[in-house]
Amino acid sequence: MSPIQFFLRHHREILQATLEHIWLVGLTMIFAIAIGVPLGIVVTRKPWLSKPILGGANIAETIPSLALFGFLLPVPWLGGRADRLAIAALTLYALLPIIRNTSAGITGVDRAVREAARGMGMTDRQILFQVELPLSFSTMLAGIRIATVLTIGIATIAAAVGAGGLGEFIFRGLAMVNDQLILAGAIPAALLALAADFVLGALERRLRPVR
């Protein structure tokens, strides 16, 4: 059977695995953004925290993904359900690019703009929400884009601990020495990553402030 015939015959399962994958990645990105953006802001407000926060995220990033999944297995509430476990680990992975780009975006705002804002009597909160964040959207989005593409890739490994998704085809294909199964997982995953990169990249370009 050719790969195309295989895809057509098993399209429903492939679609379902793709949706599972998107679900894993989607939830992860929601958590990662909800945690990472505020942390990125905190880093700009309290520079002494930048070392521990960025350092911590860096450590999470350095641990090999499979090992991180394995570490979290024994944790009681997480280990019970593989998707919780996977989302927890994936969120830790996605944090670093988001925190880093959020803080870089904010500190990259033109000094003169920040000085004028402060001098005119804007509160720190107003400067954050009306000046710094809008002007750093593009950079933040770059971090989100990187994190998303990263997560789509690492989520394939999540299948090794039972979280499903497109990685499951890959692992099954490896066990059965079946190329088509492997491709059934690998190709959609690659396409997902490319699509995410494209869409978020386009959004990033549209939001880039003109100097």
Partner 1 sequence: MRLVRAAPAFLLLSLAACLISCSSERNTIVVGSKNFSEQALLGEIVAQHIEARTHLPVTRRFYLAGSYICQQALLAARIDTYVEYTGTALTAILHDPIEKDPSAVFGRVKSEYQRRFGLDVLPSLGFNNTFAIVIRGEDARRLNLKTISDAALHAPQWRAGFGYEFMERPDGYEGLAHIYGLRFAEAPRILDLGLLYRALLEKQVDLVAGNSTDGLLSARDLVILADDKRYFPPYEAVPIIRSETETRHPEVRVAIAELAGKISDEEMRKMNFEIDGQHRDAADVAREFLHAKQLD
Partner 2 sequence: MLGVLDVLASWRARQFLSRPPRMTPRTLSESDREPVIEFRHVHYTLSNRELLNDVSFSVARGETLVLLGRSGAGKTTALKMINRLLVPSSGEVLVEGKLTTEWDPIALRRKIGYVIQDIGLFPHYTVTQNISLIPRLERWPADRVRERVKEMLETVGLHGKTFEHRYPHQLSGGQRQRVGVARALAADPDILLMDEPFGALDPMTRGEMQNEFKALERHLGKTVVIVTHDVGEALVLGTRIGLMEAGKLARVYSPHDFVHASEPMAAAYMAQLRVYDEAKGEK
Footprint on this chain of partner 1 (rule: CB under 8 A): 12-13, 15-16, 19-20, 22, 26, 81-83, 159-164, 168, 171-172, 175-176, 203, 206-207
d(CA 165, CA 73): 18
Residue 113 or 199 with smaller CB distance to partner 2: 113
DSSP secondary structure code for residue 189 in this structure: H
Q: Nearest distance from residue 132's CB to partner 1, in Å? A: 15
Q: Nearest distance from residue 191's CB to partner 1, in Å? A: 15
Residue 1 or 112 with smaller CB distance to partner 2: 112
Structure tokens at 50: 């930048």
Q: Contact, 185 vs 17, CB < 8 A?
A: yes
Q: Provide φ and ψ at 122, rounded to 5°.
A: -85, 140
| Residues in contact with partner 2, shown as a per-residue x/- string from 129 to 148 under the rule CB under 8 A | --x--xx-------------
Q: Nearest distance from residue 29's CB to partner 1, in Å? A: 12
Residue 116's binding partner out of partner 1, partner 2, none, with CB under 5 to 8 Å set by partner kind? partner 2
Residue 16's binding partner out of partner 2, partner 1, none, with CB under 5 to 8 Å set by partner kind? partner 1
Structure tokens at 203: 């959004």
Asked whether position 160 contacts partner 2 by CB under 8 A, the answer is: no
Q: Quick one: how far is CA 132 from the chain centroid?
A: 22
Asked whether position 110 contacts partner 2 by CB under 8 A, the answer is: yes
* Contact set for partner 2, span 25-84 (CB under 8 A): none
Q: Contact, 165 vs 17, CB < 8 A?
A: yes
Q: Which of 9, 46, 126, 194 binds partner 2 (CB under 8 A)?
A: 126
Q: Which of 160, 176, 177 is nearest to 168 (CA)?
A: 160
Residue 113's binding partner out of partner 1, partner 2, none, with CB under 5 to 8 Å set by partner kind? partner 2
Cα→Cα distances 28→49, 110, 112, 205, Å: 24, 32, 37, 24
Q: Among the candidate windows 33-41, 76-84, 90-98, 106-114, which touches partner 2 by CB under 8 A?
A: 106-114
Amino acid making up residue 179: D
# chain residues binding partner 2, by CB under 8 A? 21
Radius of gyration of the chain (CA): 20
d(CA 51, CA 176): 46
Residue for token pair 């350095």? 62
Residues lying near partner 2 in the complex (CB under 8 A) are found at 110-123, 126, 131, 134-135, 209-211
